[in-house]
Amino acid sequence: MVVAVKKLNPQSFQGFREWQSEINFLGRISHPNLVKLLGYCCDDVEFLLVYEFMPKGSLENHLFRRNTNTEPLSWNTRLKIVIGAARGLAFLHTSEKQIIYRDFKASNILLDEAYFGLAKLGPSAGNSHVTTRIMGTYGYAAPEYIATGHLYVKSDVYGFGVVLLEMLTGLRALDKNRPIEQQNLVEWAKPSLSNKRKLKSIVDERIEGQYSAKEAWKMAQLTLKCLERNHRKRPHMKDVVETLECIQAIKDKRK
């Protein structure tokens, strides 16, 4: 049995808090779209967390690859992946003790052997997961979180909107190698989401011809809603799931 092991620094109080947080979070809930915590241990030398292994790695690893022999993720695959991730977030937000994921981003969406068979939310590669620390990933963090440190379930929705935008464009949320005006993806692309003519110009050219204009437009409108600056105006994740499933139904009718 292949597993994934995360090692934390036992000399660090923050390492202990993260270890404890992961156990409290993944150790007490279960959902098809959340990575399973299989075990854990601690001693004077190290803190270990043992997870189920997701063989295809993260969405980040596949979405932004260029100039390789592998096929880019198709529109259908991208749609299935974000639906799976949305279901995981919706479950957390509607659980008995409402859970805020807090650091939602492409690198935390893990993929199984079939890519889209099961997209799951997993522990972050960095120092944060579901914690009370004021620490997020710039480019994904919601405006209210950056400005005040206040965190809401709708802050996760903003991060999800950023991932939707990455999925649409095939571009990273932040990239200093792009022209200055394009380095922040949300700031650059958001105005085009409400313009049908401009929308096509920002959609990933690698998936051209794989989606209908109606699908792209509905995805753009959902992305805009998730990226609302006022967190109260963003949709609930359960509503996001429903909208994504409606977009998927449009695709199925085209077959």
Q: Check which CATH number belongs to the domain holding 203 and give it.
A: 1.10.510.10
- Structural domain includes residue 61: yes
- Structural domain includes residue 42: no
Nearest CA to 6 among 59, 46, 62, 61? 46
Which ranges of 170-236 does DSSP label H, i.e. alpha helix?
Answer: 185-189, 196-202, 213-226
- Structural domain includes residue 240: yes
- Model pTM above 0.85: yes
What is the predicted pLDDT for the residue at 57? Answer: 85
Mean predicted lDDT score pLDDT of the chain: 85
Strands 47-52 and 115-121: unpaired
CA distance 123 to 133: 15
- Residue 95 region, left (φ>0) first, then alpha (ψ -120 to 50), else beta? beta
- Structural domain includes residue 49: no
By residue range, what is the domain housing residue 61? 54-254
pLDDT over 80 at 43, yes or no: no
**Domain count along the chain:** 1
Nearest CA to 62 among 182, 172, 154? 172
**Residue 74 tokens, joined:** 């198709």
7, 111 Cβ separation under 8 angstroms: no
Tell me the CB-side half-sphere exposure of residue 52, using CA atoms within 13 A. 20
What is the predicted pLDDT for the residue at 119? Answer: 66
Share of the chain above pLDDT 70, in %: 84
Q: Which residue has the higher pLDDT, 4 or 215?
A: 215
Task: Tell me the pLDDT tens digit for each residue of 45-102.
Answer: 778 888 888 888 889 989 998 766 778 999 999 999 999 999 999 999 998 888 888 8
106, 61 Cβ separation under 8 angstroms: no
- Structural domain includes residue 11: no
Neighbouring residues of 230: CB distance < 8 A, sequence distance ≥ 6 = none
- Structural domain includes residue 200: yes
Q: Which of 43, 103, 175, 239 is catalytic?
A: 103
Based on the residue annotation, tell me whether 43 is a catalytic residue of this protein.
no
What is the predicted pLDDT for the residue at 3? Answer: 82
- Structural domain includes residue 245: yes
**Residue 111 tokens, joined:** 């993929």
- Structural domain includes residue 99: yes
Average pLDDT over residues 140-157: 91
